[in-house]
Each structure stands twice: as structure tokens, then as C-alpha cells.
Structure 1
Amino acid sequence: MTIAVTRSGEPETKPTRNSVSARPAAQAARVPDGTVQYLRIGDLQLESGVQLPDVVLGFETWGTLNADASNAVLIEHALTGDTHVTRGASEEPGWWEQLAGPGAPVDTDKYFVVSINILGGCYGSTGPSTPAPDGRPWGSRFPLVTLRDTTSAEARLADALGIDSWYAVLGGSLGGARALEWAVTYPSRVRRCAVISVGASSTAEQIAFAQAQTLAIRQDPNFNGGDYYGGPEPEAGLALARRIAHITYRSAAELDGRFGRNAQESEAPLEAGSLAGRGRYQVESYLDHQGNKLVRRFDANSYIAITEALMSHDVCRGRGSLRDSLAPATAEFLVAAVDSDRLYFPAQSRALAEALPGGPELHIIEAPIGHDGFLTEIGQLSGQLRSNFFA
């Protein structure tokens, strides 16, 4: 049984939360809420034509699957997120507790909530840091994985849990793209779908930002073509990638209002005797902190793999026009955008909503913070979610 791995690719025998092998649907309620589980789904044929062998998916669940498996909700994480949506048996906070948990809009006392680590990730699913059939980490040999590939893998996990259709699938940013792909690829298996802070495809500008991030990692001297496991890791490159990304996650107004042109504590950017000794502005210190924080918890190759999966996001690929591509979807949709988002502009969400069957209303989250408002201000959608999706 393949288990979770650390960023360095070494087997993680003691995960942060308890871990168990996936159990049959009838036993799912016996697993403590918020416990990492692992399921082998077999070999997976990818869009590229490559076959990825012996795939494992890491996932967590909360609540109890009812007798007819009609109360299952899939919550998809964003780019560097994990499966811990909300706290369960432990007191470890989740990343979307405004959305899911006892008494929350997605009430885990009523719904059986599932969150799956994306294929290519580093929180339990098969990815570049996990062992290939020869026992060595996949590293540079890990294949390109698209969002359609990840959806196919997740469908097998749903099968194993006895879930023929989801009561709802929802997510923000990359998670929203994953939710949309579910609704279009498996229309009969998704009854409701919430797509938040993402459009129908990744634009040229979004691909450009993503390329800058992946190139930052690839040009790190320690990257070694992706085969750095067991040696120095490309920490500087990963931290730089996170800096680039984080600028797009926050608005100009947020950065100006929070940091302005202020120096970082006693550092004086304009008083250095040399460029090499220059102090930092507060915003630079903030970006340094964000980069270093990610380095401690994420694998650089997984960052590349998942970023490229997001670059592949195009619901129209091989399906025709946007309206034609979305036409098979039968789910009830909720589409939302953050008004200050400068990564996934509200106009992209509006175009998606207008092209969906039924033309659902676009809901606007008002948040000066920028793209990350889909996480911090999800409570603004509580009314719509409670009155429509989760009444």
C-alpha cells in the first residue's frame, strides 16, 4: 500500500493526522472525521496517451454516507491546498471552515463530505515524490496530468465509496475548475455544482503567470531536472514561485493599504551602502514569509505538476464552442467571483455563467483582498448556499 510522502519524497510513516486504508462505503462512517485515507484505483490512462500505473488517491471524509448514498458532497481544494477542509476528530483547523462543518452551509451532520488530494499532489495521492514501480521517486519521469485525468481518477474513488452521483461538487480557483470538469465530464453524476473564482479555461495571461512560477523552480540549481530527491531541494525556486503566485492572489489595494512603502522594521532600503546590503520594504518581507512557509510544506515537483494541470484547464478542448461544451451539464449551478480578483477576473466567471444551461446568476463576493477572497469571504455565499444548494 503506497502511503503519504513528505516533501522530500521519503515515506511518511506518521502523517500529521491519522491515516488508514480506504474502507468499503458501508464502513465509511466508522472512520473518524478528518482522517487521511488512501485508496488504490489501479492503472490510469492519461489524456497524453501515457498510462500511470498503480495510482493511489489520498482523501478525507466527514459525516455519514446515507443508505442510498444521496448526501455525498465533493469539495475540491485549490493549487497548494490539502484535503483538510475542516476539522474533524482532531482540533487541527481546516482551510474552509466557513463553508463546511457542523452547522455550516455544508453541514457535516447532514452531508457526507469528501475531499480528494489532486493527482500529482504531495498530500497522499500519487505524484512526483511517490515511488514509481522501480521503487525510486517518479521525479522527472512523472507524466503530464490534466484536470480531466484527475476527474477520471476521482470518479474511480467515488465508485469505490459507492457514490453514483454527488449531491454537490464545489470548489474555488483550481478547485472550481475541477468542479466544472466534473459537471461536464460526468453530467449524470453531479446534481449541483459551485464554480467559484475561475473561468471556463485558463487564459494566456494566466498561463504566462504560471510559466514564470514553474520556470523559477526549474532554474533553481538544486532542481536537477526534477530528480532532486535525496539531495538538496530547489527551495529557493519554490519560494520564488510562491512569491510570484501570491502577488496575483492579492489585490494592489490590499498590498498598498497593508504595507505601503514602509520599510521592514529597522531595515532601511534607501540607506544601504551597496545593492547587496539593501534592506527590505515590508511587502518584500511579506512575500519572503509566504515563500518560506510554502517551502516547509510542499514539494516543488508537485507545484509544477499541479500548475501545469491548471494550465491545461479548458472545458472546451475537443468539445466545440463554450455553449456546446457546457450543454451536456445537467447540474444546478452556482457561479461566483471576487470583485477585486486580478488573477481570475469576474468577467470570466460572467462569461461562464452566461454560457451555462439556464444562465445562472453570477454572485459577486465583495472583498478588497483579491483572489484569496474566495477563501476568506466564502461566508458571503452562505445565504445562497443554504437557500438553494443545501436547504
Structure 2
Amino acid sequence: MSELIEKAKLLKKAAYETAVLSEEKKNEALEGIAEALLANTDYILHENGKDMEAGVSAGLSPSLLDRLNLTEERIHQIADGVRQLIKLKDPVGETTEQWTTDNGLNIETVRVPLGVIGMVYEARPNVTVDAAALCLKAGNAVLLRGSSSASHSNQALVKVMKGALTSSPIPEEALQLLEDTSRETAAEMFRLNDYLDVLIPRGGAGLIQTVIKQATVPVLETGVGNCHVFIDESAEKEMAINIAINAKLHRPSVCNAAESLLIHEQWPHKEELLRRLHEQSVELRGSSDLASAFSFVKQAEEEDWHTEFLAPIFAVKTVEDVQGAISHIRTYGTKHSEAILSETPENVQAFFESIDAAVLYHNASTRFTDGEQFGYGAEIGISTQKLHARGPMGLRAITTTKSLVRGNGHIRA
């Protein structure tokens, strides 16, 4: 029996047990996980060091290495994320609707776990813990399939978490890591309908499209973040500059970092903003007017408007008005996160009404598209699709519903 099938069978059985646990028991298990992560920090960092060394040797980009890297501070943040979940209300068992029909049937819709969730993700070890904790809190079992570049880190994190589960109410079999990272096994996992209830890919466009095209298991799609910041003519100078810099540079390697900057052609502070970005080592790829006006702005290629750089690179363009910004975003955006910086209410309203994206911002950085920032604790991913869930996906996004119908001898005529 293959590793995949063996672990899938364990997960299916464990999912039934986990689904009926009380919130108190699930929180007890999560606290044990948080404590174990902190107690085993040195071991986790040692194993992560192996992946980092291999990543450097393999020539991974700085953005990928940043995603891969764990530090003592990051492990503390990961553990804090688990503890934030403990504070959140368990959605399982929540009544979403209840009514009585004309013939006297009482119908109640309640939240229940999805079942067995398959997570497919790239070189971000923090996702290993975030996904596990979220799935378990919502009463699910979870199969984790990370990338080979983070294999030592993922194995260490899962070993620590499963160790904590051995003395908790949640069966340790509810958490499994697929250590075989071959493409053949991944393809088999994508078609494991008898055992998996949903697949959630989290990573770059290539990974997400591979899962969507190959999977027969239903896919809860997370999206690429080609996010835009539009600075309107009325935008306040310092606020606009600070937000643009934050959206690009706070953490360039993540999906909610801004990749394109659209500036109203009449905004009077373009030069200062572009110079400040350049001084902070941002590579600027601009429209022809900007490339002609500023020696430090390179001429943008068509591909730059489509690209999720995940690096300190900004595609910059002037637009005639808010409609020009809307048109550009409709053409190149990925329906993730888009921001307008403006003091003109009608332009903000037009932007909000006309842009189709999971999250829209007025006078705020796109970096807030994050489960923790939205008050969800950790997140399973950021959905850019429209079915089931959209935006940062917390606990409710990994539940479904069932209807409980109570009668009194009812038969249908």
C-alpha cells in the first residue's frame, strides 16, 4: 500500500472522530500544539537550516528564500497564530438558518466540517502549521503536501504537532504529511475522491493551475496577487507615499504586496514618490512617459503589467482618471486586492462598484488582506474565486452546512 493511500485511510477514519469533538477539546489540542512549537524551536530551526542551505545551493530567489526561512521570531508568531484560533468561536454546530414551513416541518441549517482537506502548497513552512491548526479547529482532518524545498522543515513541524496530539483529544491520525513529493504521487492525490473532500492549492500561478487542471477532487482555489495601488488626483501626499511604499516593501514576497502602481497624471507628487521608491532600491518599470521623464525608471514591457513579481519591483503607469485605473485593473488584475488612495468620494464609489476583486481598499495598504489582520486568526489561503468563499479564508470557509429537518409524522402527498 502506498504512503498516500495508507495516510488517506487514516485521515478518513480520523475525520469522523474529529468532527464530533467539542470546542473545548479542540482548543485543548491547539494549546498543546502551540506549546510544543515553542518548546521545540531549536529542533525546528535546525531542520529549517537544512532546507535553507539546500535552497541557496539550488539558487532559489531571494523571495522564495524569505518564504522558506524560519526564525525564532517567526516561530513565536506561528505559535501566537495558533493561540489566536483558540480565542475564536468554533463555527461547527452554528445555526445559520432556521424556519418552519407552511406544513409544519422545522428546518435548521447548521455548520459542519468539510471532512478531509488536502492542502497543496509551496515553500512556506508557516502554512504547515496554519493549515493544520485551522483544519483541526474546524473539525476537519488534513493531508499536507508541501514542496520538496521545505521537506525538512515540514517534517519537523508535523512531527512536533503530531507529538502534541498524542496526548490530546484530537487523534494524531487527523494530521498527515505526504512526504513523497513526486509529481506522480501529487497527481494521484488530486484524484483521490474516495478519501479527500476538497483540495486547497496555495502558491504560485503554476501550482494553482496544475491542481485545477488535474484534479477531480473539488478545488477551493486561492489566487495569484497582481495587486494594484491607484493614486487619485486628490490623494493626500504623505499618506499616498507611505501607503505605496508599505504596499510594495513591507514584505514584497507575499501575494498581498502591490505589484503595480497607477498614478493620476495630474497628481503633483509623482516625482517625489518615484524617487523615494528608487532610493529604497525598488526597480521601477514604467509607462513611456515616466521612463522618458526619469532616468531611473525603465521602460515597461507588456508582460510587466501581468506579472506578480514577489520582489522589490514595481510596474508604474500614469492614467488619465479613475476610469483609466479601472480599465487597467480590469485588464491585468487577478481579482485579489486593489486599492484607491483618494479624497474624492465619487471616485472611491466608482472604484468600489466597478472593480471585481476579493478585497478593495480606500486609503489603506493591500498588505491587510490577511486572515490575522481580518480577525480570523491564521488563514487557509486567500480565495479569488466566487464560489463558497472569497478573500482571506478563516474557519467558516473550511466548513459546509447540512440541514436538519424535524417533523411529526409528515409524509409528502
Q: Same fold (TM over 0.5)?
A: no
Higher strand share: 2
Higher helix share: 2
Bigger Rg over Cα: 2
Normalising by structure 2, we get a TM-score of 0.28
